[in-house]
Amino acid sequence: MTEMEILFAIIIVLLAAIMQGLTGFGFAVVAVPLLSLFLPLQTVVPLVMLVATIIVTMMTIKLWRHIQFKEMWVLLIFGIALTPLGAYLLIIIDETILKVLIAILTLVFSICLWKGLRVVIKNERMALITIGASGGLLNGSLGLAGLVIALFFNNKNEDKTSFRANLSFFNLSLTVIVVINYLLLGLIDQAVIEFSVWLLPPLIIGLFIGYKVEAILDQTRFMKVALAIIMFASLSTFLSVF
């Protein structure tokens, strides 16, 4: 890694961590697209997942009492089951295709939250299976499991604390599984581990800033800014392909 790449990565991780601390999601959604502008995805995704382990662990411990375990088990079973397949897809699918998928998925995600779109779920068990399975695939291949689970709980109009608790627990469970898979596949090597060490200070500082200013910011207004940043990241990723 060059010094300039490390500097850019530090800035991106700081921004993504601030967003995570403020909104309860967004770290990978911001970090993966922006880091992939100058680093290969087979480095970016394992790196982000390795660093994200710290975030989701801290948030899960903090919000443990608010996790709705009864609803989470179906999501976790199918999410964990499909994560290894997702990790394998990261290896075999062309990086250009994966970048286009990242751009499309993050853009759709941000538009849905921006518009506050809701859908009526008639069969919740089937919805949980679908969300869990797609989350597992996205977790392993792109590090973006939080996209579908955030939309799902936002659709249910969960209160802010329950939303963050459930999202953190789901992400923690799948992140642990995917990190193990990346280690077995050789995607997390010494270089990735050393690079992740550089990112720990901005990660911790960003989270601290996010937590501190959460109470004083207008959440609705900040969410618009956060989603605008995600849209910018997704469009940047799309344009980088061409």
**pLDDT per residue as tens digits for the range 61-86:** 988 988 888 878 889 999 999 999 99
Complete DSSP assignment for 99-143: HHHHHHHHHHHHHHHHHT-----S-HHHHHHHHHHHHHHHHHHHS
Best CA proximity match to 133, nearest among 70, 83, 71:
83
Confidence tier at 1 by pLDDT (50, 70, 90): low
Instruction: Give the position of tokens 């662990």.
Output: 57
Whether the pLDDT of residue 23 is over 70: the answer is yes
State phi, psi for 143 to the nearest 5 degrees.
70, 25
Q: Between 23 and 204, where is the model more confident?
A: 204
The closest of 129, 137, 23 to 88, measured between CA atoms, is 137
- Note whether 168 and 60 are within 8 A (CB): yes
Candidates 147, 139, 156; CA nearest to 110 is 147
Q: How confident is the model at residue 88 (pLDDT cuts 50, 70, 90)?
A: very high
State the pTM of this model. 0.89
Count structural domains, the chain: 1
The conformation of residue 63, written as its DSSP 8-state character, comes to T
Domain limits at 111?
Answer: 3-240
Residue of 178, 175, 147, 149 lying closest to 162 (CA atoms): 149
